[in-house]
Structure 1
Amino acid sequence: MNDSFDPSGPEARITPRLVDALYTEAMVLADEARAYFDDIGKDERLTLEPFARVGFACESLKVTTRIMHIVAWLLTQRAIETGELHQIDGRRPERRLGHATTSDPKVVVQMPDAAQRLISASSDLYARLQRLDEGQLDDQPIQSPARALMGRLERDLIWNRGA
Structure 2
Amino acid sequence: MTESDEEWQGMEARITPRLIDSLYTEAMLLADEARAYFDETGRDDRQLLEPFARVGFACESLKVTTRIMHIVAWLLTQKAVESGEIRSVDGRRPERRLGHANESDPAVIVQMPEAAQRLINSSADLYSRIKRLDEGQLVDEPAPSPARALMGRLERDFIWNRDG
- TM-score normalised by the chain length of structure 1: 0.94
**SS of match in other structure, 2:107:** helix
Aligned to 1:86: 87
Q: For each residue in 1:36-87, what CA deviation from the matched residue of structure 2 results, as whole angstroms up to 9, or x when unmatched? A: 0011100000000000000000000000000000000000000000000000
Deviation at 1:8, TM superposition (A): 5.5
8 Å contact kept, 2:9–2:132: no
Aligned to 1:121: 122
Aligned to 1:76: 77
What runs of 5+ residues in structure 1 fail to find an aligned partner? none
CA distance in 1: counterparts of 2:160 and 2:78, whole angstroms: 17
Taking a change above 3 Å as real, the CA distance of residues 6 and 157 of structure 1, as seen in their structure-2 partners, is farther
8 Å contact kept, 1:109–1:116: yes
Q: Give the AA of the match of 1:149.
A: L
Superposed, 1:29-108 pairs within 5 Å as 29-108=30-109
Aligned to 2:18: 17
CA distance in 1: counterparts of 2:135 and 2:98, whole angstroms: 9
**SS of match in other structure, 1:9:** helix
8 Å contact kept, 1:7–1:128: no
CA distance in 2: counterparts of 1:110 and 1:100, whole angstroms: 21
